Structures are given as C-alpha cells and as structure tokens.
Structure 1
Amino acid sequence: MLAWDQALPYGFGLQTNFMVADGTASDGHPVLDNSKYTYNLGGYYQHGPISANVDYSYRSHYYAAVSESSSEFVAGAGALNLQVTYNLMRDLSVTFAARNLADALVKEYGNNLSQPVAIYNNGRQYYLTAEYKF
C-alpha cells in the first residue's frame, strides 16, 4: 500500500492511496470480494468552523461468486463523494454528505464481459446530519 497526505497553505490538503491485493484461495479460485487494485484521491479544506472534503474512490473488478462451472464478477467502478461539515458551536455540528455524485452503475457479469448478469443503478445519495457531543 502506498499513501500520501499533503497539507497545503490556507487549510487545504491532498490525500491519496493505492493498494494492490493479489489473492487466490487454497482451491485455486479468486478470493471473493477482493479487488486487486484500489485507489483513492481526495482533497480537503479545514479552517475555522468549516471542514470539507471531496474524494474519488476506485476498485477494480472482483469476484462475487465462484463455482466449478462458472464465475460471477463485478466490474471495476469508482465513486465521487463530497462531505461538508459546519461546527455551529463547540459541541454541535451539521454535516451534508453526497455519495456517488457521478451516478456510477454497478455491473455484474458471468465469466466475461459479454455475459451481463445484472446492472444496478444505486443512484446518488444525500445525507444531512446533526451531531451533538455530550
């Protein structure tokens, strides 16, 4: 795994990481739910009562099911996310978060890309939360 976090002037910063996880089960099949490659790239801002970050996360294809006769895998995909927090008081904050802003699809396939099994559109997700610390 490689990771880098760089603070920049005026409360800005960059974060990134890249990981390779190459695994095979003892029976020779791929490890389920294991992407060989994953990476994240993001930027952040922290100053006074405001903190914000935006990031893009990607994972390469991974196997969802494996049997002697066939395999089912999920194609590689990425997600663009955003989060902004405002501290109203020392113990009270409000956060807005948005997930999957690029509206990426989840695509499942059989043994190869010419055998689609399912395509999911999970859509964009938005959250508004308030947090109070006792």
Structure 2
Amino acid sequence: MEIDKKDKPCYDAKPSVNWKCIWFTVGLASGYWFLPKKNKWILLALLYFPYILLAYYDHWYDCRRNMGPTYLAMFYHWAKPQDSKQINDFKNWCPEIRKKVLMIDFVILLGGLFLLPMFMKWKPK
C-alpha cells in the first residue's frame, strides 16, 4: 500500500552549508588562478562542477555525514544523484522553506545575469 504524499510530513530542516564542498571548490579555483595561463571559462567550470562531483562521491561511498539540501538548489539539484538523501529531502521540503530557498536562488541568478556582461568583457591578465 502506497502512502499518499500529502499524508507524509514535509522536510522542515533549514538549508545547510556544506563547508567541505565550498573549501574544495575554492581550493581548486584558487590553485588554478595562481597557475600560469588564466582562463575565465576554466575558472567558472572549477567553481561549478566540483560541487556536483563531490555529491556523487558522497553518494557512491555512502558518506555518513551527508548534508541536507542547501541554498543554490536550483542550480545543482538536477545534476546530483536523484536517489540521494539530499535530493529526496529537497523534494520533500516544506513549501515555505522551499519557496524561501528558491527566492534566494532567483536573486543569485539575477545577480549572475547582471554580472554576465562584465564577465564576458573581462580579460584576465
């Protein structure tokens, strides 16, 4: 017998911050930045993809300290393992928390779109 989704309580934990992913990504980007031949596209990729790779690492190796869903969910949840605890929690987040996170993500998206022309003109030296 299947439980109707509306009968299940929603996931009401606040968004978490995954410092492991943040420091790993900053480390990669910083390490790259100080090497010769700066390339803004490689830098952008190093700021985005390691977070996804760490999500798969945590999932495949059954890391016990999995983080809950985070801010920036709109940017990453599609690429993470869909059967992970984090994604299941994201899908079951209480509507008021999910709405707040999506609003913050939307503001970040607008900020990114605002900065895009400057990024495109930028010529790292």
> TM-score interval w.r.t. the shorter chain?
under 0.3
More RCO (CA 8 Å, sep 6+): 2
Q: Which has the higher helix share?
A: 2
The structure whose Rg is larger is 1
TM-score, L = length of structure 2: 0.26
